[in-house]
Amino acid sequence: MSEDDKSAEPVTAAEPEATEPAKPAGGRGPLRIVLAAVAALLVLALAVGVGVLYYQHRQDVATEQARTDAVKAAGEQAVAMLSYDYNKVDDQMAAAADGLTGSFREDYEKLADEVIAPGAKEKKLTVQVSVQGAAPVSASPDDAVVLLYLNQVTTSADAPDAATTGSRVRMEMQKVDGRWLTERLTPI
Protein backbone atom coordinates (compact mmCIF):
# COMPACT_ATOMS: atom_id res chain seq x y z
CA MET A 1 0.00 0.00 0.00
CA SER A 2 1.14 3.35 -0.94
CA GLU A 3 0.81 6.46 1.00
CA ASP A 4 -2.09 7.51 -1.09
CA ASP A 5 -3.87 4.33 -0.24
CA LYS A 6 -3.38 4.88 3.44
CA SER A 7 -5.10 8.16 3.24
CA ALA A 8 -7.97 6.58 1.38
CA GLU A 9 -8.93 4.35 4.23
CA PRO A 10 -12.22 5.25 5.65
CA VAL A 11 -12.00 7.25 8.78
CA THR A 12 -14.10 5.97 11.59
CA ALA A 13 -15.09 7.81 14.67
CA ALA A 14 -13.06 6.95 17.67
CA GLU A 15 -14.90 4.81 20.15
CA PRO A 16 -15.55 6.58 23.38
CA GLU A 17 -13.32 5.38 26.16
CA ALA A 18 -14.96 3.63 29.10
CA THR A 19 -15.05 5.97 32.06
CA GLU A 20 -15.73 5.32 35.71
CA PRO A 21 -19.07 6.51 37.00
CA ALA A 22 -18.91 9.88 38.63
CA LYS A 23 -18.21 9.73 42.38
CA PRO A 24 -20.27 11.78 44.75
CA ALA A 25 -18.68 14.88 46.14
CA GLY A 26 -16.17 14.15 48.89
CA GLY A 27 -15.11 10.82 47.39
CA ARG A 28 -17.43 8.67 49.55
CA GLY A 29 -19.66 6.07 48.08
CA PRO A 30 -22.54 4.40 49.90
CA LEU A 31 -20.29 1.51 50.97
CA ARG A 32 -17.81 3.85 52.62
CA ILE A 33 -20.61 5.59 54.53
CA VAL A 34 -21.94 2.26 55.80
CA LEU A 35 -18.45 1.11 56.82
CA ALA A 36 -17.80 4.37 58.65
CA ALA A 37 -21.12 4.09 60.50
CA VAL A 38 -20.39 0.48 61.49
CA ALA A 39 -16.91 1.44 62.69
CA ALA A 40 -18.33 4.33 64.72
CA LEU A 41 -20.92 2.01 66.30
CA LEU A 42 -18.23 -0.53 67.15
CA VAL A 43 -16.10 2.15 68.81
CA LEU A 44 -19.13 3.39 70.74
CA ALA A 45 -20.05 -0.16 71.85
CA LEU A 46 -16.46 -0.78 72.93
CA ALA A 47 -16.41 2.46 74.93
CA VAL A 48 -19.70 1.56 76.64
CA GLY A 49 -18.40 -1.94 77.39
CA VAL A 50 -15.21 -0.59 78.93
CA GLY A 51 -17.26 1.88 80.99
CA VAL A 52 -19.55 -0.87 82.30
CA LEU A 53 -16.59 -3.10 83.18
CA TYR A 54 -14.86 -0.23 84.96
CA TYR A 55 -18.01 0.55 86.98
CA GLN A 56 -18.43 -3.12 87.93
CA HIS A 57 -14.79 -3.30 88.99
CA ARG A 58 -15.16 -0.20 91.17
CA GLN A 59 -18.31 -1.69 92.78
CA ASP A 60 -16.49 -4.98 93.42
CA VAL A 61 -13.58 -3.15 95.04
CA ALA A 62 -15.96 -1.07 97.18
CA THR A 63 -17.90 -4.18 98.22
CA GLU A 64 -14.73 -6.03 99.19
CA GLN A 65 -13.59 -3.04 101.23
CA ALA A 66 -17.04 -2.92 102.86
CA ARG A 67 -16.71 -6.57 103.88
CA THR A 68 -13.41 -5.91 105.59
CA ASP A 69 -14.42 -2.65 107.26
CA ALA A 70 -17.89 -3.82 108.34
CA VAL A 71 -16.53 -7.00 109.96
CA LYS A 72 -13.98 -4.97 111.92
CA ALA A 73 -16.56 -2.38 112.99
CA ALA A 74 -19.10 -5.07 113.97
CA GLY A 75 -16.57 -6.76 116.23
CA GLU A 76 -15.62 -3.49 117.90
CA GLN A 77 -19.25 -2.46 118.30
CA ALA A 78 -20.32 -5.82 119.75
CA VAL A 79 -17.61 -5.56 122.39
CA ALA A 80 -18.63 -1.96 123.18
CA MET A 81 -22.34 -2.80 123.42
CA LEU A 82 -22.09 -6.00 125.43
CA SER A 83 -19.14 -5.34 127.75
CA TYR A 84 -19.51 -3.25 130.88
CA ASP A 85 -18.29 -2.76 134.42
CA TYR A 86 -20.81 -1.76 137.10
CA ASN A 87 -18.52 1.13 138.16
CA LYS A 88 -18.57 2.73 134.67
CA VAL A 89 -21.68 1.24 133.07
CA ASP A 90 -23.41 4.57 132.33
CA ASP A 91 -20.41 5.99 130.43
CA GLN A 92 -19.80 2.69 128.65
CA MET A 93 -23.40 2.36 127.47
CA ALA A 94 -23.44 5.99 126.26
CA ALA A 95 -20.21 5.44 124.32
CA ALA A 96 -21.59 2.25 122.78
CA ALA A 97 -24.78 4.05 121.68
CA ASP A 98 -22.62 6.35 119.53
CA GLY A 99 -22.06 3.43 117.16
CA LEU A 100 -25.76 2.68 116.61
CA THR A 101 -28.33 3.97 114.14
CA GLY A 102 -31.86 5.37 114.47
CA SER A 103 -34.49 3.39 116.33
CA PHE A 104 -31.99 0.69 117.33
CA ARG A 105 -30.01 3.37 119.16
CA GLU A 106 -33.15 4.56 120.95
CA ASP A 107 -34.08 1.00 121.96
CA TYR A 108 -30.54 0.30 123.18
CA GLU A 109 -30.38 3.51 125.24
CA LYS A 110 -33.73 2.72 126.84
CA LEU A 111 -32.62 -0.85 127.66
CA ALA A 112 -29.29 0.40 129.03
CA ASP A 113 -30.94 3.06 131.22
CA GLU A 114 -33.83 0.95 132.49
CA VAL A 115 -32.39 -2.57 132.72
CA ILE A 116 -28.65 -3.01 132.12
CA ALA A 117 -27.20 -0.16 134.21
CA PRO A 118 -29.49 -0.62 137.25
CA GLY A 119 -28.98 -4.41 137.19
CA ALA A 120 -25.21 -4.09 136.81
CA LYS A 121 -24.96 -1.67 139.72
CA GLU A 122 -27.26 -3.70 141.95
CA LYS A 123 -25.48 -7.03 141.36
CA LYS A 124 -22.02 -5.50 140.83
CA LEU A 125 -21.75 -7.12 137.42
CA THR A 126 -18.70 -7.03 135.24
CA VAL A 127 -19.07 -8.44 131.74
CA GLN A 128 -16.18 -8.80 129.31
CA VAL A 129 -16.87 -9.81 125.74
CA SER A 130 -14.32 -10.95 123.18
CA VAL A 131 -14.81 -11.79 119.53
CA GLN A 132 -13.69 -15.33 118.72
CA GLY A 133 -14.63 -15.27 115.07
CA ALA A 134 -16.29 -13.00 112.54
CA ALA A 135 -17.41 -13.34 108.95
CA PRO A 136 -19.45 -11.31 106.49
CA VAL A 137 -22.74 -12.90 105.48
CA SER A 138 -23.45 -10.30 102.81
CA ALA A 139 -22.14 -6.88 101.88
CA SER A 140 -22.60 -3.96 99.55
CA PRO A 141 -20.67 -0.68 99.61
CA ASP A 142 -23.10 0.80 102.20
CA ASP A 143 -24.68 -2.18 104.01
CA ALA A 144 -23.40 -5.43 105.48
CA VAL A 145 -24.53 -8.36 107.58
CA VAL A 146 -21.89 -9.89 109.85
CA LEU A 147 -21.93 -13.06 111.93
CA LEU A 148 -19.93 -12.92 115.18
CA TYR A 149 -18.91 -15.67 117.59
CA LEU A 150 -18.48 -14.17 121.05
CA ASN A 151 -17.20 -15.31 124.43
CA GLN A 152 -18.62 -13.55 127.46
CA VAL A 153 -16.96 -13.65 130.89
CA THR A 154 -19.23 -12.50 133.74
CA THR A 155 -18.50 -11.86 137.41
CA SER A 156 -20.81 -10.48 140.09
CA ALA A 157 -20.94 -9.91 143.84
CA ASP A 158 -22.91 -13.17 144.17
CA ALA A 159 -20.63 -15.15 141.81
CA PRO A 160 -17.09 -13.77 141.99
CA ASP A 161 -15.71 -16.73 140.02
CA ALA A 162 -15.81 -15.93 136.32
CA ALA A 163 -18.49 -17.67 134.30
CA THR A 164 -17.79 -17.99 130.59
CA THR A 165 -20.49 -18.39 127.98
CA GLY A 166 -20.39 -18.40 124.22
CA SER A 167 -22.88 -16.81 121.89
CA ARG A 168 -23.46 -15.95 118.26
CA VAL A 169 -24.92 -12.71 117.01
CA ARG A 170 -25.96 -11.41 113.64
CA MET A 171 -25.21 -7.73 113.18
CA GLU A 172 -26.65 -5.57 110.44
CA MET A 173 -24.30 -2.72 109.67
CA GLN A 174 -24.90 0.48 107.73
CA LYS A 175 -22.34 2.98 106.48
CA VAL A 176 -23.33 6.49 107.57
CA ASP A 177 -21.09 9.48 106.83
CA GLY A 178 -18.11 7.18 106.30
CA ARG A 179 -18.64 5.22 109.56
CA TRP A 180 -19.98 1.70 109.93
CA LEU A 181 -22.81 1.77 112.48
CA THR A 182 -24.90 -1.05 113.93
CA GLU A 183 -28.44 -1.06 112.62
CA ARG A 184 -29.54 -4.23 114.39
CA LEU A 185 -28.08 -6.95 116.62
CA THR A 186 -29.85 -10.31 116.74
CA PRO A 187 -28.74 -13.21 118.96
CA ILE A 188 -28.85 -16.52 117.07
Question: What is the domain-level CATH number for residue 170?
Answer: 3.10.450.230
pLDDT digits (tens, 9 = 90+) for 51-72: 999 888 888 888 889 999 999 9
Question: Taking all residues of the chain, what is their mean pLDDT, rounded to a whole number?
Answer: 89
Predicted pLDDT at 21: 56
Predicted pLDDT at 82: 97
Domain of residue 89 covers 42-187
- This prediction has a pTM of 0.70
Residue 109 domain-assigned (yes or no):
yes
pLDDT digits (tens, 9 = 90+) for 92-125: 999 999 999 999 999 999 999 999 999 999 999 9
Low-confidence ranges of the chain (pLDDT < 50): none
Residue 28 domain-assigned (yes or no):
no
d(CA 124, CA 128) in angstroms, rounded, equals: 13
Report the number of distinct structural domains present in the chain: 1
Give the pairing type, strands 84-85 and 163-176. unpaired
Residue 89 domain-assigned (yes or no):
yes
Q: Residues 157, 123: contact at Cβ < 8 Å?
A: yes
